[in-house]
A and B are shown apart, each in its own frame.
Chain A
Amino acid sequence: MYGSLFSQSEDELIQAARRGDGAAFAEVLRPHYQAAFRVAYGLLHDSTEAEDAVQEAAFKAWRRLVNLRQGSSLRPWFLAIVANQCRGTTQSKWWSVAKGDLVEGEAKFVDIAAAVDLRRALLRLSHDERLIVVLRYYLDMPFDEIATTLGITPKAARNRIERAVHRLRPIIQINEAAV
Chain B
Amino acid sequence: MSTTTTASPNEAKLWVGGKSPFNSEYGKVMMWYFLMSDAFTFGAFLISYGTVRFSTNGWPNSNEVFRSFPFAPEGVHAPLVFVSIMTFILIISSVTMVLAVHAGKNMDKKGVVRNMIWTIIGGIAFLSCQAWEWNHLFHEGAWWGANPFLNADGTASTTNFTNFFFTITGFHGFHVFSGVVINIIMLIMTLLNKFEQRGHYLMIEKAGLYWHFVDLVWVFVFTIFYLL
B is bound to A: no
